[in-house]
């Protein structure tokens, strides 16, 4: 009997404040990821489950990152996944600063001390065509009930400032606004409320995923929106369902800092990969 060649695919499961990821390292092997395989891995009953899947590949700097949503669509940016992978690479190399390329562009990451990892998500996109929106308009207050603010962080965001973020039915609210006609590429949806000076409570609906315990790019977008509207300064604490992130809209971009966790390593079996 001739044994089949083992083509099992290694992966790691990580999370940042419960915003969870499957991470595949493609630096030493080709990893073709069809939409169907991404969706199968995302299945929390028959696969592993994730909010985003991230692929590490060789790049012009320390590494290149590619992100997929749970529905198989691609995302140009994922802040918490970038921080998780940055921590992995720092642990591997001993480096305390990294230069990572993504569809969003070149992102800088650094060890922030005390087990925290920071990533610079770049300058926010504030013009309607960059986000993008369907037509020219003021992005500070959109013509949508609740007058949300539109922000691009490599992916589109729609931030609603409300009296009590916890009182919003996020399942229906997020689903209703993800596909709003003003957002031709769909949008991430945030509901945020002020709980103190430079202190925000936020909940998030991610496009192609649904409600998540945290989101790095959403946190950056909300911090930028709050500063633009004069609700906060440019350096804020954001409390999410999964924990706390610190965001600083600095001159060189939007820095986002928080904890990361590698949960386990495993491999997708040949049988699983062939079943998709």
- Residue 4 to residue 204: CA distance in whole angstroms: 44
Which of the four pLDDT bands, split at 50, 70 and 90, describes residue 1?
very low
In this prediction, residues 26-54 reach a mean pLDDT of: 94
Residue 214 near residue 241 (C-beta atoms within 8 A): yes
Residue 129 covered by a domain = no
Q: What's this model's pTM, rounded to 2 decimal places?
A: 0.92
User: Closest Cα partner for 90 from 65, 112, 106?
Assistant: 112
Find the range with the poorest average confidence among 23-37, 106-120, 244-258: 23-37
Question: What average pLDDT does the chain have?
Answer: 95
Which of the four pLDDT bands, split at 50, 70 and 90, describes residue 74?
very high
In this prediction, residues 178-196 reach a mean pLDDT of: 97
Residue 23 covered by a domain = yes
In this prediction, residues 120-143 reach a mean pLDDT of: 97
In this prediction, residues 144-172 reach a mean pLDDT of: 97
**Do 230 and 266 fall into the same domain?**
no
On the question of pLDDT at 228 being above 90, the answer is: yes
**Residue 199 belongs to domain with CATH number:** 3.10.310.10
**Do 105 and 160 fall into the same domain?**
no
**Do 246 and 267 fall into the same domain?**
no
**Do 157 and 238 fall into the same domain?**
yes
Domain that holds residue 52: 9-120+260-275
**CA angle 27–32–36, rounded 5-degree value:** 140
Residue 136 covered by a domain = no
- Residue 249 to residue 52: CA distance in whole angstroms: 24
Backbone φ and ψ of 218, nearest 5°: -65, -40
Which of the four pLDDT bands, split at 50, 70 and 90, describes residue 3?
very low
In sequence order, what are the beta bridge partners of 212? 204
**Do 241 and 185 fall into the same domain?**
yes
Write out pLDDT tens, residues 163-184: 999 999 999 999 999 999 999 9
Query: How many domains would you assign to the chain?
Result: 2
Residue 107 covered by a domain = yes
Instruction: Provide the residue count of the chain.
Output: 276
**Do 216 and 155 fall into the same domain?**
yes
**Do 264 and 194 fall into the same domain?**
no
**Do 170 and 227 fall into the same domain?**
yes
Write out pLDDT tens, residues 55-65: 999 989 999 99
Write out pLDDT tens, residues 85-125: 999 999 999 999 999 999 989 999 999 999 999 999 999 99
**Do 103 and 184 fall into the same domain?**
no
pLDDT for 30: 85
Helices 79-93 and 216-228 pack at an angle, to 10 degrees, of: 120
Residue 213 covered by a domain = yes
Residue 63 covered by a domain = yes
**Do 44 and 98 fall into the same domain?**
yes
Surface-to-core class of residue 234, CB atoms within 10 Å of its CB (0-12 exposed, 13-18 middle, 19+ buried): middle
Joined together, the tokens standing for residue 18 give: 């419960």
Alpha helical stretches, state H, the chain:
35-42, 79-93, 170-178, 216-228, 270-275
Joined together, the tokens standing for residue 201 give: 């409570």
């Amino acid at each position: 009997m001739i044994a089949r060649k083992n083509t099992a695919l290694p992966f790691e499961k990580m999370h940042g404040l419960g915003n969870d990821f499957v991470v595949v390292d493609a630096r030493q092997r080709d990893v073709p990821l069809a939409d169907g395989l991404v969706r199968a891995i995302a299945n929390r009953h028959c696969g592993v489950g994730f909010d985003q899947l991230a692929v590490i590949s060789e790049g012009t700097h320390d590494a290149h990152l590619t992100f997929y949503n749970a529905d198989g669509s691609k995302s140009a940016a994922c802040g918490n996944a970038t921080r998780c992978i940055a921590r992995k690479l720092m642990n591997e190399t001993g480096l305390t600063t990294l230069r990572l390329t993504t569809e969003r562009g070149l992102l800088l990451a650094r060890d922030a001390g005390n087990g925290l990892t920071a990533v610079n998500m770049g300058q926010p996109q504030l013009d309607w065509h960059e986000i993008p929106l369907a037509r020219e308009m003021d992005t500070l207050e959109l013509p949508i009930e609740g007058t949300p603010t539109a922000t691009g962080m490599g992916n589109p965001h729609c931030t609603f400032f409300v009296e009590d973020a916890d009182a919003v039915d996020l399942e229906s609210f997020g689903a209703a606004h993800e596909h709003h006609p003003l957002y031709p590429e769909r949008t991430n949806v945030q509901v945020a409320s002020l709980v103190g000076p430079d202190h925000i409570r936020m909940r998030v609906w991610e496009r192609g995923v649904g409600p998540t315990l945290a989101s790095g790019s959403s946190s950056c977008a909300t911090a930028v929106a709050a500063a633009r509207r004069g609700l906060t300064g440019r350096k804020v604490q954001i409390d999410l369902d999964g924990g706390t992130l610190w965001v600083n809209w600095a001159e060189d971009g939007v820095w986002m800092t928080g904890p990361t966790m590698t949960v386990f390593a495993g491999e997708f079996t040949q049988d699983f990969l062939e079943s998709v």
